[in-house]
Amino acid sequence: MLLPFDAGMTEEDAPSTRAFAALLRDLLAGQRPMDAPPVWGDLKGYSLRAFNAFEAYKQRGPDGVWPMIGPIALSNAALRQLLMPGPVVAPARTMVSYTPEEIMAMQPITFLDAECTVQERGITMIAGQPGTGKTLWLVRQGAQVAAQMPVLYIAAEGEASLSDRMRAQQIVTGERIPLQFRTYKQMLNLRRPEDVVMLIDHAGTLGARLIIFDTWAACTSGIDENAVHSVTPIFESLRQVIEAVGCSILFSHHTRKDGGTYRGSSSIEGSVDNMYLLVDEDGVILLKPQKTRDIGKPEPRKYRIVEVETRLNEVTGQMIKAPALLPAHEAAEIDPQGAKKVTGEKRMVLEALDAFPDGTNLTLLEDATGLSRGVVHRAIGRLKEAGYAAQAGRGEPYTITERGQKVVNNLNP
């Protein structure tokens, strides 16, 4: 059933309102393609809203249109009548206010990652020039969050090299990327309502607490990122995803050619909760805060990109190298095979441990190294953290791992 668009239209209605209603009428009548509503003149950003409203009408009827058109229809009686056949009225809304005590008792802002970068139920943007490690940083933070909760990673750009980058990240950290880190490798366009609905359904099924988009440009194909009316509906869709799924959003974006700030409309900065720039300064990658909503501005964090061997190329017989991102102070301890360099007491304990293939205890390690019990205990703890030593349980023997044996072989070629 077509909506009665002609009823209630007056000459006093704004041109944009008339254009918005006319486009909806044409969509319903099949006179315009469903996949790419045009943008022209006074219509501006209403074209995407019109398409969203049309999709919602097909799925849920007239009541489904309201969340899509928002204040445009709520504030315009003529448009309400155009969109809603019969005596349908806008759903009732209530206003709730709070006392100062209630406001102060509310939960403060929380973050999903240990570095307090990804704000819970917020939108965080990481921008940088090519080669500054945007994807590496996203994978690193995503893996960290996935150790605690499900993460959905939209690999819309650079997916071909993603497997080796994940391998490199595992090698340098000595930890597997958690199974809760799920990757979607096909194209996804936030301009398309059906893609947004698909995203909400899949992320909701996973119970995703964080959705990562790599990159903004690849997931918003076709928009004019310099135009407010083109950018705003994308962030409206992202907020819908946050509300529907109960998640946080993290995305990467490109900077301008000078690298000084992000590329696109100022409304992008206005729409995100936190924004950071990745900047390469003489090989040190700085994560510089540009906007941190409701929290103090932290000091820049320092990283380095390291290349490690990930696998053998069966065609060339050469080892394939891939980059990984590490805090700058840790990167200095990585050798080309990805093993953390072992020096001092840790080296002495690891070499001693290698002499006990069936495992040993602290007393024998003290005797073998000549170190005090406290020093041996501290060193073996750090070797366990690095994945070079293991202990089945409290009181059980300490053993060297396969990874630890490789390090010993590198120490004594």
CATH code (residue 372):
1.10.10.10
243 and 353 co-located in one domain? no
62 and 159 co-located in one domain? no
Least confident of 41-55, 257-271, 320-334: 41-55
142 and 271 co-located in one domain? yes
Question: Which of 28, 57, 83 is the C-terminal boundary of a domain?
Answer: 83
270 and 359 co-located in one domain? no
317 and 358 co-located in one domain? no
In a domain, 339, yes or no: no
144 and 270 co-located in one domain? yes
Which residues, 6 or more positions from 180, have their beta carbon under 8 angstroms from its beta carbon?
146, 147, 149, 150, 151
302 and 357 co-located in one domain? no
Helix (H, G, I), strand (E, B) or coil at 310: strand
In a domain, 338, yes or no: no
**pLDDT band (50, 70, 90) for residue 335:** low
Number of domains present in the structure of the chain = 3
- Long-range CB contact pairs, 296-302, < 8 A, 24+: 298/116, 301/115, 301/327, 302/327, 302/328, 302/329
Give the integer Cα–Cα distance in Å for 328 and 340.
Answer: 13
Which residues, 6 or more positions from 413, have their beta carbon under 8 angstroms from its beta carbon?
none
Give the integer Cα–Cα distance in Å for 73 and 294.
Answer: 32
Contact present, 14 and 75 (Cβ < 8 Å): no
Which residues, 6 or more positions from 307, have their beta carbon under 8 angstroms from its beta carbon?
168, 321, 322, 323, 324, 336
**pLDDT score of 83 more than 70:** no
In a domain, 210, yes or no: yes
Using one digit for the tens of pLDDT, what is the confidence trace for 280-292?
A: 888 889 999 998 8
Residue 255 belongs to domain with CATH number: 3.40.50.300
276 and 198 co-located in one domain? yes
169 and 316 co-located in one domain? yes
Give the integer Cα–Cα distance in Å for 162 and 169.
Answer: 10
Question: 211: domain range?
Answer: 123-331
Give the integer Cα–Cα distance in Å for 65 and 57.
Answer: 6
In a domain, 93, yes or no: no
**pLDDT score of 5 more than 60:** no
- Looking at the whole model, is its pTM more than 0.85? no
Residue type at position 111: F
In a domain, 73, yes or no: yes
Omega of the bond prior to 10 within 30 degrees of 0, cis? no
In a domain, 132, yes or no: yes
228 and 321 co-located in one domain? yes
Which pLDDT value is given to residue 334?
A: 56
Which pLDDT value is given to residue 41?
A: 35
